[in-house]
Amino acid sequence: MDKRKRNLILNGLAVAALFGVLLAFDQFGTNYQVRILNNMAIFITLAVSYNLVNGICGILHLGPNAFITVGAYTSALLTLSPAEKQMTFIIEPLIWPLSVMQAPFVVSLLAGGILATIFAFLISFPVFRVRGDYLAIVTLGFGEVVRVLCNAFQSVTNGPLGLKGLHPHTNLWWSWGIAVLTIVLVTKLVNSSFGRAMKAIREDETAARAMGIDPFKQLLLAFLISAFFSGVAGGLLAHLITTISPTLFTFFLTFNLLMMIVVGGLGSTTGAVLGAALFAWGGEALRIVESPIDLGFFTIPGIPGMRMVVFSLLLMIVIIFARRGLMGRNELSWDGLMGKLKVMAR
């Protein structure tokens, strides 16, 4: 059988298997399990799109929380009905066009993604004038500025009170559908000539330039695509937790994403997926370190906040001792798997 055909069939089977698992959880899973699976899918979308900039292009961008914020607020403002908005905005009324607009969930997600992309485009000019540590701090700055603006523009964002009572539109199908879509599109991009140009910039920007690659164009492309999916994921997140406020989207969120892609392996989409899945599951599993442990004769008191200590230690240990993370820059592929199987069969 020709390889391409085989891969297509296997991909189809994998998606069908995922569908089956999701259907099982949708029917028989507890609320808690469904919640973790939803979180996992949103983290996968975020980590894969974040990895496109940080891992594939090799620039340390610390402002994905800005895109997520823009996406979340846009989509939340669009799904709330005018009456609900009037009830939420008690301090200052919502400004005119937004106050009467209402759109279906899918349109609101798209709008969130598009607005995040526009925002990314606007900040890209100052951001890509610099590299390295400066780029990191400038993007971090934009993340903070967005948070400050969210607190200040009460007539758009309702300030520190945030938006409450969003409809829980996000279900397993939405979150995993978008996660799969993100993975497919980002993988296609990475394997195209654009992806090769981005990797060339990561390895040596001067050499890439000498080969006729325009770094600004390539980085901008990655940045915009990453922003779009982060924005969509922001919309999903907003309609999963149904309450958003500026405190939700701090640098903390960026730190978590960074940890996922570093642990998974910077530059590997498979790694980003694994990192995000591990984080969603591990974050719950690690709750035991925060709750009291009863040893029968002695109770170890739970220590709130211990999870973050474990996470930051994990990040440092991975970056110092196992810089390649779980996957390095390798990807999981059917060709690779089949090769391994053949070797084992022999």
The binding track of 168-207 with respect to another protein, each residue x by CB under 8 A or -, is: ----------------------------------------
209 touches another protein by CB under 8 A: no
In angstroms, the CA 141 to CA 160 distance is 19
Residue of 87, 148, 288, 341 interacting with another protein (CB under 8 A): 148
- Of the ranges 78-86, 238-246, 254-262, 332-340, which one interacts with another protein (CB under 8 A)? 254-262
CA 152 to centroid of chain Cα atoms: 26
Determine the length of the chain.
346
Nearer to another protein among residue 184 and residue 303 (C-beta): 303
47-76 positions binding another protein, by CB under 8 A? 54, 58, 60
Beta bridge partners of 300: 293
State the nearest-atom distance from the C-beta of 37 to another protein, in Å.
27
Among 10, 98, 103, 144, binds another protein (CB under 8 A): 144
Distance separating the N- and C-terminal Cα atoms of the chain: 20
Q: Smallest gap, in angstroms, from Cβ of residue 152 to another protein?
A: 5
Q: Which of 97, 296, 301, 305 binds another protein (CB under 8 A)?
A: 305
Q: Give the Cα separation of 35 and 33 in Å (integer).
A: 5
Select 10 or 314, whichever has its Cβ closest to another protein.
Answer: 314
Question: Counting contacts by CB under 8 A, is residue 106 touching another protein?
Answer: no
Interface region with another protein, contact rule CB under 8 A, candidates 34-42, 110-118, 126-134, 240-248: 126-134
Q: Indicate whether 83 belongs to the interface with another protein (CB under 8 A).
A: no
| Tokens matching residue 224 | 């915009």
Cβ–Cβ under 8 Å, residues 55 and 273: no
Distances in Å between the alpha carbon of 156 and those of 20, 93, 98? 41, 8, 8
Question: Helical H runs in the chain?
Answer: 3-28, 31-51, 64-79, 82-88, 96-100, 105-127, 132-152, 154-157, 172-190, 193-203, 205-210, 215-241, 251-264, 269-285, 306-321, 334-345
Q: Which is nearer to another protein, 68 or 172 (CB)?
A: 68
Helix 251-264 with 306-321: angle, nearest 10 deg: 40
The interaxial angle of helices 193-203 and 172-190, nearest 10 deg, is 70
Among 211, 313, 337, 341, binds another protein (CB under 8 A): 313
Interacting residue with another protein among 18, 23, 303, 332 (CB under 8 A) = 303
Number of residues that bind another protein (CB under 8 A): 40
Going by the DSSP 8-state scheme, the letter that residue 108 receives in this structure is H
What single-letter amino acid sits at 114? I
Work out whether 129 is an interface residue with another protein (CB under 8 A).
yes
Region of 213 on the Ramachandran plot (φ > 0 left; ψ -120 to 50 alpha; else beta) = beta
Single residue of 110, 266, 278, 280 touching another protein by CB under 8 A: 266
Closest CB 69 distance from another protein, rounded Å: 14
Binding residues vs another protein (CB under 8 A): 54, 58, 60, 126, 129-130, 132-134, 136-138, 140-142, 144-145, 148-149, 151-152, 255, 258, 262, 266, 303-306, 308-309, 311-313, 315-316, 319-321, 323
